[in-house]
């Protein structure tokens, strides 16, 4: 939506281009040292990349959602979540309502996926849905919608496919060179007699690149991922006009140490916080998909009174002590001050414990419903939740002993 | 000689491409403003549709203050009446409706049995959602206007905006209604 996000995309695309250059160099060197044909190597590398990319583009979101065990919900299933998503859809100016998914997992996390802004989905774990009040939920959903709106989902999918291709080609390339290609190459050079020096150098460079390319590509990938997290935080502050919501949600996320059940390395950058957190262990900043949570919270809390992207940028520089911000400086002053809004009602700690219980009950009822449980209200006040396996059988209430036909 | 011609041709092509790009960007920004405006409309209508349900749920409770309910119904009718009026008149009427709803929510606090009613709790979430939708659609409209204005006033896109007569400024939605509306979400549910 904002100009600076577009110019930031340019920077991300530059990093992707470097990764692409790695892939092409790798393909050429491998092709040259295995079959003495660099071009063929490049063509094969690009073909593998193209194929994987097509799969990721058209099937990526459904693969991701089914791997994570996400289930689609309707408005009636959880009105509050659905309303919050719709509010953020309106605030961000998205044209189409994203699909809303829920993941049955006590871990606290959420992610967005979808190849473009018209095929977007937002998923949240039942644990997180239970823990957050309305303002916090809004901050988290706004962060996810920010990913959709900033086109991060497509960018990160492209990047992870690029990284995957580099890893695959390095892996198989090194094996072919060791067990097949090398002997063929030496036979050829011995036949031609001399002149093998050049080929040997290419081979050494190819081997080096095969070892280094996956590492560098991974580091670039992580750098892009962290940058997009900051941007999505800035979008969240802008959409909700209330950075404290996301900050306090992140605080709750930071205090939980339950790792996400069905996350893997490829899906990690999609989540709102790193799904493989290990508490107490300071993650090296270079090797993480996400910026440190505490830092994200500090940045959000530093931008008091103004929620424009420029204010986020200023807070970012202040907290990081960095000269260059996350949002490009030539575009940042264009947006004026954008005021903050007041906290919404249910944030005030009226009856916090009662509210927490209500939220937990809402979510567990929803999970039972999604698992196709039936509910019978017994006359003694007990709610019987009947699993689908017991349907058609007679159930006895454990408290008063009345019998029901399920 | 031919090199000079090619260079000039290249510059002309680049200029034309930039012109097309900028023009399309301006058109897109203008459409975004228009869409954001109609989104406010949609959300205001949504609130009108919600009110009969709300009144029906609350009315069933004995001794519920009549005048509070009547004020809401009246404000809704008045707001619907200004659907085709100017922005100022409309935002005033809608602001009054917001205030009336806010008062209703305060009164509800005094009826514990009503607060425990499942229907009413669902309706309350709907109302909060609707109020939020209205204020977020207004916010999105203001954001889109800000972006459009930046485009029409800043160099170099202002040159293109001037050439094709893109209006320099679109009015921000006045804050008159937001004063009244700000009070509504503060009600403790």
Closest partner residue to B125 among A79, A91, A238, by Cβ?
A: A79
Q: What is the pLDDT of residue A238?
A: 87
Same domain, yes or no: A193 and A286:
yes
Strand ranges (E), A154-247: none
pLDDT tens digits, B113-124:
777 777 777 777
- For the segment A27-52, the average pLDDT, to the nearest whole number, is 84
Q: What is the pLDDT of residue B96?
A: 87
Contact in structure between A345 and B185 (CB atoms under 8 Å): yes
CB contact under 8 A, B185 and A3: no
Taking CB atoms and an 8 Å cutoff, what residues of chain B touch A1?
143, 147
Number of domains in chain A: 2
Chain A, residues 112-131, CB within 8 A of chain B, namely none
Which residues of A are tagged catalytic? 144
Tokens 């097509």 belong to A54
Pick left, alpha or beta for residue A392 (phi over 0 → left; psi -120 to 50 → alpha; otherwise beta): left
Q: How far is B167 from chain A (nearest CA, A)?
A: 19
Residue B173 has pLDDT above 50, yes or no: yes
Same domain, yes or no: A81 and A210:
yes
A370 falls within a domain: yes
CB contact B48 to A (< 8 Å): no
Residue A121 has pLDDT above 80, yes or no: yes
Q: What is the pLDDT of residue A185?
A: 45
A339 falls within a domain: no
Main-chain dihedrals φ then ψ at residue A225, nearest 5 degrees: -60, -45
pLDDT tens digits, A269-317:
667 777 765 443 444 555 667 778 888 888 888 886 777 777 888 888 8
Same domain, yes or no: A288 and A209:
yes
CB contact B106 to A (< 8 Å): no
CB contact A3 to B (< 8 Å): yes
CB contact under 8 A, B187 and A95: no
pLDDT tens digits, A239-274:
888 888 899 999 888 887 667 766 666 666 667 777
Average of per-residue pLDDT values in chain B: 79
Same domain, yes or no: A399 and A281:
no
CB contact under 8 A, B126 and A86: no
Q: What is the pLDDT of residue A192?
A: 43
pTM: 0.79
A238 falls within a domain: yes
Same domain, yes or no: A183 and A325:
yes
Q: How far is A93 from chain B (nearest CA, A)?
A: 6
* B67 or A191: which leads in pLDDT: B67
Nearest CA in chain A to B39: A90
Same domain, yes or no: A259 and A389:
no
CB contact A388 to B (< 8 Å): no
Nearest CA in chain A to B105: A345
Same domain, yes or no: A192 and A62:
yes
Same domain, yes or no: A369 and A239:
no
Same domain, yes or no: A194 and A295:
yes
Rounded CA-CA distance B95/B38 in Å is 18
CB contact under 8 A, B126 and A88: no
Same domain, yes or no: A279 and A357:
no
Residue range of the domain that includes A398: 351-405
Counted residue by residue, chain A has a size of 406
pLDDT tens digits, A124-153:
999 889 888 888 999 999 999 998 888 888
Same domain, yes or no: A356 and A327:
no
CB contact B186 to A (< 8 Å): yes
Q: What is the pLDDT of residue B180?
A: 42
A343 falls within a domain: no
CB pairs under 8 A between A and B: 68
* B48 or A330: which leads in pLDDT: B48
Nearest CA in chain B to A87: B133
Last residue of a domain, one of A302, A334, A366: A334
CB contact under 8 A, B185 and A350: no
A340 falls within a domain: no
Range scoring the smallest mean pLDDT among A219-233, A278-292, B48-62: A278-292
CB contact A143 to B (< 8 Å): no
CB contact A283 to B (< 8 Å): no
- For the segment A378-402, the average pLDDT, to the nearest whole number, is 77
A140 falls within a domain: yes
Pick left, alpha or beta for residue B61 (phi over 0 → left; psi -120 to 50 → alpha; otherwise beta): beta
User: Measuring CA to CA, which residue among A53, A309, A6, A290 is closest to residue A151?
Assistant: A6
- Can you read off the two tokens belonging to residue B138? 């207004």
Taking CB atoms and an 8 Å cutoff, what residues of chain B touch A350?
188
Last residue of a domain, one of A272, A301, A334: A334
CB contact under 8 A, B126 and A80: no
pLDDT band at A200 (very low <50, low <70, confident <90, very high): confident
Chain A, residues 313-342, CB within 8 A of chain B, namely 334-336, 342
pLDDT tens digits, A53-103:
888 888 878 888 888 888 898 888 888 899 999 999 998 888 889 999 998
A342 falls within a domain: no
ipTM: 0.76
Taking CB atoms and an 8 Å cutoff, what residues of chain A touch B144?
93
Q: Give which of B108, B140, B142, B183 to mutate to test A binding, by max A Cβ within 10 Å.
A: B140
Last residue of a domain, one of A287, A303, A334: A334
Same domain, yes or no: A186 and A323:
yes
CB contact under 8 A, A90 and B39: yes
Using alpha carbons only, give the angle A61, A65, A67 rounded to the nearest 5 degrees.
115
Closest partner residue to B144 among A87, A93, A344, by Cβ?
A: A93
Q: What is the pLDDT of residue A352?
A: 59
A345 falls within a domain: no
Nearest CA in chain B to A355: B189
Contact in structure between A300 and A243 (CB atoms under 8 Å): yes
What DSSP string runs through chain B?
-HHHHHHHHHHHHHHHHHHHHHHHHHHHHHHHHHHHHHHHHHHHHHHHHHHHHHHHHHHTSTT--HHHHHHHHHHHHHHHHTTTS-HHHHHHHHHHHHHHHHHHHHHHTT-HHHHT-HHHHHHHHHHHHHHHHHHHHHHHHHHHHHHHHHHHHSTTHHHHHHHTT--S--PPPPTHHHHHHHHHHHS--
């Amino acid at each position: 939506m904002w100009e600076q996000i577009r110019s930031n995309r340019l920077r991300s695309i530059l990093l992707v281009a470097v990764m692409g250059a790695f892939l092409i160099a790798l393909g050429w060197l491998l092709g040259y040292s295995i079959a003495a044909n660099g071009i063929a190597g490049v063509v094969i590398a690009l073909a593998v990349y193209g194929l994987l990319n097509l799969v990721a583009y058209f099937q990526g979101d459904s693969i991701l959602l089914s791997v994570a065990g996400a289930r689609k919900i309707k408005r009636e299933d959880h009105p509050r979540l659905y309303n919050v998503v719709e509010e953020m859809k309106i605030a961000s100016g998205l044209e189409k309502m994203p699909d809303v998914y829920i993941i049955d997992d006590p871990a606290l996390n959420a992610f967005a996926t979808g190849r473009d802004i018209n095929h977007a989905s937002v998923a949240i774990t039942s644990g997180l849905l239970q823990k957050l009040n309305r303002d916090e939920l809004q901050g988290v959903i706004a962060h996810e919608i920010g990913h959709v709106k900033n086109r991060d989902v497509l960018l990160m999918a492209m990047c992870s496919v690029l990284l995957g291709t580099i890893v695959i080609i390095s892996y198989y390339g090194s094996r072919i060179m060791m067990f097949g290609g090398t002997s063929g190459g030496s036979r050829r050079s011995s036949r031609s007699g001399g002149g093998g020096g050049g080929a040997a150098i290419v081979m050494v460079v190819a081997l080096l690149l095969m070892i280094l390319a996956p590492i560098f590509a991974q580091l670039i990938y992580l750098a892009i991922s962290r940058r997009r997290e900051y941007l999505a935080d800035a979008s969240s502050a802008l959409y909700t006009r209330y950075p404290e919501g996301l900050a306090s949600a992140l605080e709750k996320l930071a205090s939980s140490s339950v790792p996400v059940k069905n996350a893997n390395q490829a899906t990690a950058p999609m989540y709102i916080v790193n799904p493989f957190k290990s508490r107490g262990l300071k993650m090296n900043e270079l090797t993480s998909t996400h910026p440190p949570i505490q830092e994200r919270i500090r940045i959000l809390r530093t931008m008091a009174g103004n929620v424009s992207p420029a204010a986020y940028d200023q807070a970012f520089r202040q907290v990081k002590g960095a000269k260059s911000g996350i949002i490009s400086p030539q575009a940042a002053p264009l947006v004026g001050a954008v005021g903050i809004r007041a906290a919404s009602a249910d944030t005030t700690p009226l009856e916090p414990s009662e509210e927490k219980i209500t939220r937990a009950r809402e979510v567990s009822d929803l999970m039972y419903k999604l698992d196709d449980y039936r509910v019978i209200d017994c006359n003694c006040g007990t709610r019987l939740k009947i699993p689908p396996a017991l349907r058609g059988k007679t159930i006895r209430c454990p408290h008063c002993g009345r019998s029901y036909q399920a | 000689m031919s090199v000079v011609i090619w260079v000039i041709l290249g510059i002309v092509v680049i200029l034309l491409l930039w012109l097309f790009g900028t023009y399309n960007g301006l058109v897109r920004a203008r459409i975004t403003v228009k869409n954001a405006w109609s989104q406010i409309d949609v959300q205001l209508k949504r609130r009108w549709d919600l009110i009969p349900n709300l009144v029906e749920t609350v009315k069933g409770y004995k001794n519920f203050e009549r005048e509070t309910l009547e004020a809401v119904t009246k404000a809704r009718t008045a707001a619907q009446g200004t659907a085709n009026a100017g922005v100022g008149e409309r935002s005033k009427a809608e602001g009054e409706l917001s205030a009336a709803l806010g008062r209703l929510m305060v009164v509800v606090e005094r009826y514990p049995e009503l607060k425990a009613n499942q229907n009413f709790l669902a309706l309350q979430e709907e109302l909060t959602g609707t109020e939020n939708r209205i204020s977020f659609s207004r916010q999105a409209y203001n954001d889109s206007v800000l972006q459009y204005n930046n485009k029409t006033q800043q160099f170099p896109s202002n040159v293109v905006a001037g050439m094709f007569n893109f209006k320099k400024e679109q009015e921000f939605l006045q804050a008159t209604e937001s004063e009244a509306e700000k009070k509504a979400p503060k009600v403790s549910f």
